[in-house]
Structure 1
């Protein structure tokens, strides 16, 4: 599960997993966050359909 919190100028992204617990990433801009998202959800590494990947990317673009 991923959550994004907008806190003033900061974007705080929390990645919660039952295996790894919680991992927190802090970004100072949307382009910085989108760069991370593009690397984290690259087409080569993503194990879902293209539609699922596009839905994830669109959700991040809406932040």
Structure 2
């Protein structure tokens, strides 16, 4: 059974979702600038590490509160 989690969704073209398929975690980043990128992880800890790197304080273009909400959403996966 595949379970889908929406990490964030700004509109129809800018979103990040995570699908849990058994022991695999598939992150899909959809952007109106870059299209769709898919990342597959074999463990939850690898997914969390990727999220922390991708949404690090240095790289994130948004408020600290937005960053915290995104990372909290990953923790619920």
TM-score, length basis structure 2: 0.79
The count of residues paired between Structure 1 and Structure 2 equals 63
Shift of 1:56: 0.4
- Select 1:31's aligned residue among 45, 48, 63: 45
Q: Which has the higher helix share?
A: 1
Shift of 1:45: 1.1
Structure 1: tracts of 5 or more residues without a match: none
Moved over 4 A (4+): none
Task: Indicate the residue corresponding to 2:28 in structure 1.
Answer: 14
In 2, the alpha carbon distance for the partners of 1:47 and 1:21 equals 19
Structure 2: tracts of 5 or more residues without a match: 1-14
TM-score, length basis structure 1: 0.96
